[in-house]
Structures are given as C-alpha cells and as structure tokens.
A = this chain, B = another copy of it.
C-alpha cells in the first residue's frame, strides 16, 4: 500500500494538526489515547493520521519525555553457567544504559519454585516497562503474568515458553527441534552400535522434556542405537558424576551421551574414567562446555546465544512498551551448532 506522500519529507505531528484543523496538544491527546477529547475530534485526527501516513518519531518522543525504559530479568538464582551467561549479558546491556535509554536489571528468583516466581512478578513495581521471565509455567505464574500485563508491564518468556499465559513474546528456541538436532548429530557421529545415555535436569522442566522428545524422534531412525531412560541430574555436578559412573560401569556398550541440561562438570569427570570413544552432545556454550569441546571430550554443542537472547528480549519489551513493530527475522533465536571448528573465538563468557 503506497502512501500518497512517500515522496519525501515524512509528516510530523504539526502536519497532522493542520490537516485535522486542531492544535498540536489535541493531536497528542488522541495519539496517546488520553482522555478528554470529543469522539468527533478523535475521528478527525485519526483520519488525518491515516491520510498522511503519519508515523510517530520515537526518538523525539523519548527525548521530550525523558524516557527511560526500565526492565527486569527474573532469573533463577543458581550457579548454573548458562544462567550466569544470561546475567552477564544483561549486565553488559545495562552498560551504556543512558545511550539506549534502557536499564535492564536482574532480579534473582528461587530456582525450581513457581510460587516464588509468581510472587516476584507480583512484587514488580508498576513503573516498570517490561519483564523477562525464565521459569516453569504453573497456574500461579500464569495469573501473575496476567496481572502484570494489566498493570501495564510488558512480559516476555525467556528460554522456556509460557504458552498458556498471555505473554507478549517468547524469546528462545524450539526445544523439540533442538533435541532433534542433537539426535541427528548423535546418529551421524556414532560409528558403533550400543547404548545412548540421556542426562536431563528435571523431569518437570518443560524445555528438558521437549528436548528429550525431539531427540527420541530422530533416534528412532538409528536402529543401531538404543536410548535408555533419562538420568535426572538436577543440574548438580556431583549427582551427575555419581549417577553416570554407575551407568557406565554397567557395561562397555555406551557409545553416546546426550546431556540436555546443566551439570556438565560432573559429566566430564565421569568421562575421564572412560575409554574415549563416546560421542557427547551437550547444550549451551559456557566455560566448561567450551573447554570440553576444545579438548575433544565433547563432540558438539547445541547453543542458544545468551547475548542474542537478552538483546532480543530488550528490543521486544521496548517495542511492546511503545506499541511499535519489530523485525521478526532479527528476533528469531537460532539453534546454533558448535563444533570445535566454528565455536566463537572470544565469547563473552571467557574474557
């Protein structure tokens, strides 16, 4: 739909005011949906806006308003390295807050505790522009999300979706596809037949379940590989090491390990005691997984870039707060595959 005035100078609020035969102040009122304007006037102004193809200059508006976008990242309070990478990415974006007029802060929330998450959401000040949530969805969380949005706070789900909540966006990967990707690499990388061990964090976490599901879909195409029940490591390195040692000692036929969660330090420890021909696929790029990839302990990493996640969340929260559009192509989080050959050289997490 070509506007009649694509010809050059884009229309300003002044143009709209003139066209509608009202004052600047009135145009501003209808533009910002403020009360106290007669319906007839509203219509006149909206007509003019449509006619002229007016689009508001956010930079000028933010300048006049001295606007500062305040947003909170509710992240589980664990020592999980991936979460640490998210925290670092938030901190990095907070630097130069004045430049972007955006101040993101991290709010730690008790991990694996939906009620704590819901409470944290309710405790958010209404002055906040947006919030990014990383946690499991329960009815309590869903209701808290609804209340937050009613208070005018934009909400995005981070890493793990809240599908039945009315969040504005989901920022993260499709975990079924991530699991499928891991499965494909496992199927093509392994040469011998035998057992494949799957490590998960918690059977309750939606993202872990989805990864397992996708992994199994693809593994079904490789009859030479037999996948056992998930080992629930709870992201705890010691627990992972102990449970895995037991499984590995049960026989010499383990040819692959799919580590779909955290706790990789324990996995690495257990593998040191093994003959080295086990194909290992893990998730996320952290100092631990990166070192394991580089020294050949791990064969591939399935990664969602923490910096990208955080930047995308911020852009989407800002767009939601402004009621503005966004670039879907830019906000699509990719499922990255990292081999030793293509892992980023100096990532944020190894300074």
Contact = CB atoms under 8 A, between A and B. Distances in A.
Given A329-B307, A330-B311, A339 B337 contact: yes
Interface string A215-245: 0001000000000000000000000000000
A105 to B, nearest CB: 15
Given A59-B63, A337-B337, A181 B342 contact: yes
A341 B183 contact: yes
A271 interface: no
Given A59-B62, A62-B59, A189-B188, A98 B339 contact: no
Contacts of A347: 329
A98 B55 contact: yes
Nearest to A324: B99
A340 interface: yes
Contacts of A329: 92, 307, 347-348
Which of A96, A334, A348 has the most B CB atoms < 10 Å from its CB? A334
Contacts of A305: 334
Nearest to A190: B188
Interface in A321-349: 325, 327, 329-330, 332, 334-342, 344, 347-348
The 5 closest A-B pairs by CB, nearest first: A335-B342, A337-B337, A180-B341, A181-B341, A181-B342
